[in-house]
């Protein structure tokens, strides 16, 4: 019936420990025995996992008159086994698997396979549930449009969804993939293990692997923010004054950070020295832009950052990415302003909301005029042309703005 072959396959399973395996096997055999003999109490089951075999022994008491054929044996039958048996003694006899019949053995085999499969699934689920947030390495088995199937070194299936892949990721069968375990759940009695390469935790774990000082706890990662595949900012802190946290993370000539950047498809990584000084932290987060001054509003958690005109685009970054990540890192909504001598004496157009209608202010802003002096330096006819406002309205507007500086 190939039961021994199946048994041998089961004994090699890596995800099931020896005591659990033996318990399941004995439980399945006892279930079959109970079905055949109504009780399994007088049976001994010997399982040899190493050899992949087993023995079933039935114990019966020798009696003159048999009332229970399962637990008792007649003296006549006992003497056929061994002439020396007497009434009251116990006879131990091996029960061959074949005696249970083909159907019973087939049912046992299916039951055993089902129990082992359930155990395997439960153990995979428990194993990966404890590894959420850890890095795993697997091999691509199949790459589809919406997800990629990854196989770990024990043959378990892991899923890397498209939305958890870096935009420039491209995988084909046989590729090695590194990711973190993002989520583990049971779906239709099967463990579903979701991986991620876009999570900030993935970047954090990569730094732990590459920077011994982080792994040893000498440097702490305070926060990580990412635009996967484009840019990331990571704030680090050291409690040991002798250790430069930024230098340690970057490595000599970028040696440590280089492999991380390569793994993340050339994602630009800014390593920032963490500080509890909000102004200094914001200033560092906007690197490489040089900040002139910062005004904080702790109530609204907003920061007005002033920079020289040629530094503004650096602070904002391509598509506003640098300032967006900086805001996420420091926990303030950051607004940047050009800082010039003229602008220090200038007045924001919002200050004239009582005298100038909001839609006119919005029209002026749409042509790049945020302050009174921005408007006053433009000739009247040019303002009329660019704003589509009536000349009379423009003259009245200029009069209001000029009065502010008289």
Query: What's the CATH code of the domain at 30?
Result: 3.30.1480
Q: Which of 65-74, 107-116, 181-190, 323-332 has the lowest mean pLDDT?
A: 107-116
Token pair listed for 392 = 């009379």
| pLDDT, mean of residues 138-150 | 95
| pLDDT, mean of residues 190-196 | 96
Residues 291 and 357 in one domain: no
Residues 21 and 122 in one domain: yes
Token pair listed for 121 = 């699934």
94 pairs with which residues across the strands? 57
Residue 11 has pLDDT above 70, yes or no: no
Q: Is residue 201 part of a domain?
A: no
Handedness of CA 309, 310, 315, 319 (dihedral sign): positive
Residue 9 pLDDT? 57
Classify residue 349 as exposed, middle or buried by CB count within 10 Å of its CB (0-12, 13-18, 19+).
Answer: buried
Other Cβ atoms less than 10 A from the Cβ of 232: the count is: 22
Report the run of H or E that residue 104 belongs to, with start and end.
helix 102-129
Residue 115 pLDDT? 82
Residue where one domain finishes, among candidates 74, 98, 127: 127
Better pLDDT: 182 or 241: 182
Residue 226 pLDDT? 96
Residue where one domain finishes, among candidates 73, 108, 127: 127
| pLDDT, mean of residues 147-167 | 95
Residues 101 and 10 in one domain: yes
Helical H segments across 264-320, by residue range: 278-285, 309-316
Tell me how far apart the alpha carbons of residues 269 and 60 are, in angstroms, rounded to a whole number. Answer: 76
Token pair listed for 41 = 């109490």
Residues 10 and 80 in one domain: yes
| pLDDT, mean of residues 337-361 | 78
Tell me how far apart the alpha carbons of residues 199 and 136 are, in angstroms, rounded to a whole number. Answer: 14
How does residue 10 score in pLDDT terms, banded at 50, 70 and 90?
Answer: low
Token pair listed for 154 = 């024990």
Better pLDDT: 120 or 161: 161
Give the count of domains, the chain: 5
**Furthest-apart CA pair in the chain: how many Å?**
131
Residue 173 has pLDDT above 50, yes or no: yes
Residues 324 and 284 in one domain: yes
Residues 42 and 121 in one domain: yes
Residue 17 pLDDT? 67
- Minimal CA–CA distance to 118: which of 35, 212, 214, 10? 10
Residues 332 and 349 in one domain: no
Residues 269 and 281 in one domain: no
Token pair listed for 235 = 């704030």
CATH number at 399 reads 1.10.150
Residue 211 pLDDT? 94
Residues 121 and 234 in one domain: no
Residue 280 pLDDT? 93
- Minimal CA–CA distance to 29: which of 51, 8, 55? 55
The listed range with the strongest mean pLDDT (63-77, 320-334, 368-382) is 320-334
Whether the link from the prior residue into 174 is cis, omega within 30° of 0, is no
| pLDDT, mean of residues 291-304 | 91
Residue 344 has pLDDT above 70, yes or no: no
Token pair listed for 267 = 């994602």
Task: Reduce the DSSP state of residue 73 to 3 states and report it.
Answer: strand
Going from the C-alpha of 112 to that of each of 53, 104, 151, 228, 328, the distances in angstroms are 14, 12, 25, 46, 53
Q: Is residue 374 part of a domain?
A: yes
Give the domain extent around 101: 3-127
Residue 240 pLDDT? 86
Q: Which of 21-25, 226-230, 357-361, 398-402 has the lowest mean pLDDT?
A: 21-25
Beta-sheet strand order (sheet of 231-238):
219-227, 231-238, 268-273
| pLDDT, mean of residues 19-34 | 83
Cα atoms in the Cβ-side hemisphere of radius 13 Å centred on 105: 13
- Minimal CA–CA distance to 342: which of 314, 313, 310, 371? 371
Q: Is residue 107 part of a domain?
A: yes
pLDDT above 90: percentage of residues in the chain: 49
Residue 218 has pLDDT above 90, yes or no: yes
CATH number at 146 reads 2.40.50.140
Q: For helices 3-11 and 102-129, give the axis angle rounded to 10 degrees.
A: 10
Residue 340 pLDDT? 62
Residues 67 and 30 in one domain: yes
Task: Give tens-digit pLDDT for 64-79.
Answer: 888 888 899 999 888 8
Residue where one domain finishes, among candidates 73, 100, 127: 127
Contact 235, 244 (CB under 8 A): no
Residues 32 and 75 in one domain: yes
């Amino acid at each position: 019936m190939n039961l021994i072959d199946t048994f041998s396959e089961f004994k090699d399973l890596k995800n099931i420990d020896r005591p659990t395996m033996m318990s399941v096997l004995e439980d399945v055999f006892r279930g079959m025995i109970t079905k055949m003999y109504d009780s399994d109490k007088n049976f001994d089951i010997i399982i040899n996992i190493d050899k992949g075999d087993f023995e079933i022994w039935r114990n019966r008491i020798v009696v003159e008159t048999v009332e229970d054929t399962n637990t008792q044996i007649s003296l006549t039958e006992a003497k056929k086994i061994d002439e020396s048996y007497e009434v009251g003694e116990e006879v131990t006899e091996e029960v061959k698997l074949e005696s249970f019949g083909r159907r019973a053995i087939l049912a046992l085999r299916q039951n055993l396979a089902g129990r082992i499969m359930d155990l395997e699934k439960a153990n995979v689920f428990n194993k990966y549930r404890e590894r959420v947030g850890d890095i795993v390495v697997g091999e691509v088995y199949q790459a589809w449009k919406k997800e990629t199937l990854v196989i770990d070194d024990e043959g378990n299936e892991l899923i890397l969804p498209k939305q958890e892949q870096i935009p420039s990721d491209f995988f084909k069968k046989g590729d090695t993939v590194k990711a973190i375990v993002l989520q583990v759940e049971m779906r239709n009695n099967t463990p579903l293990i979701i991986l991620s390469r876009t999570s900030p935790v993935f970047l954090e774990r990569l730094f732990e692997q590459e920077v011994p000082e982080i792994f040893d706890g000498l440097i702490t990662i305070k926060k990580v923010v990412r635009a996967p595949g484009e840019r990331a900012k990571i704030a680090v802190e050291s409690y040991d004054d002798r250790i430069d946290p930024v230098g340690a993370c970057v490595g000599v000539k970028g040696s440590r950070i280089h492999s991380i950047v390569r793994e993340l498809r050339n994602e630009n990584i800014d390593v920032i020295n963490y500080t509890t000084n909000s102004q200094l932290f914001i200033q560092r987060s906007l690197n490489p832009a040089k900040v002139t001054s910062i005004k904080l509003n702790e109530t609204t958690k907003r920061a007005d950052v002033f920079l020289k005109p040629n530094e503004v685009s650096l602070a904002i970054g391509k598509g506003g990415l640098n300032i967006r990540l900086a805001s996420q890192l420091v926990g303030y909504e950051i607004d940047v302003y050009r800082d010039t001598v003229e602008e220090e004496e200038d007045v924001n157009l919002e200050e004239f909301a009582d005298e100038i209608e909001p839609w006119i202010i919005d029209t002026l802003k749409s042509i790049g005029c945020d302050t009174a002096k921005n408007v006053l330096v433009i000739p009247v006819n040019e303002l009329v042309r660019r704003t589509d406002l009536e000349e009379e309205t423009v003259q009245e507007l200029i009069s209001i703005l000029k009065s502010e500086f008289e």
